[in-house]
Copies of this chain bind each other. A is one copy, B any other.
Amino acid sequence: MYFIDWCDLNMNPKIEKLVKQFAKLPRVGNRAAQRIVLSLLQDKTGRIEKLVDALVDANENVHACPICGVLTDRSAERCEYCSDIARANSMLCVVRDLSDVWTFEKSGVFGGRYHIIGGLLSGVAGVTPEDLNLANLPARIANEKISEIIFALPNTIEGKTTQQYIMSIIDNANIRFSELASGVPLGGELDYIDDGTLSLAFGGRRTI
Contacts and interface: CB of A to CB of B under 8 A. Distances in A.
Interface string A53-69: 01111110110000000
A35 B99 contact: yes
A48 B24 CA distance: 11
Contacts of A208: none
A176 interface: no
A99 B38 contact: yes
Interface stretch (A73-81, A154-162, A164-172): A73-81
A58 B48 CA distance: 10
A25 B40 contact: yes
A41 B71 contact: yes
B105 A21 contact: no
Contact of A14 (B17, B26, B62, B106): B62
A15 interface: yes
A28 interface: yes
Q: How many monomers of this protein are in the complex? A: 2
A47 interface: yes
A127 interface: no
Interface stretch (A2-10, A138-146, A195-203): A2-10
A16 B40 CA distance: 20
Contacts of A28: 27-28, 32, 36
21 contacts: A8-B105, A9-B102, A9-B106, A10-B80, A10-B84, A11-B102, A12-B71, A12-B72, A12-B79, A14-B54, A15-B62, A15-B71, A17-B54, A20-B54, A21-B50, A24-B47, A25-B39, A28-B36, A38-B97, A42-B118, A48-B59
The 10 tightest CB contacts between A and B, nearest first, are: A18-B54, A48-B59, A21-B51, A10-B80, A9-B105, A18-B58, A27-B32, A25-B36, A21-B54, A14-B58
Interface of A: 5, 8-12, 14-15, 17-18, 20-22, 24-28, 32, 34-42, 47-52, 54-59, 61-62, 70-73, 79-81, 84, 97-99, 102, 105-106, 108, 118
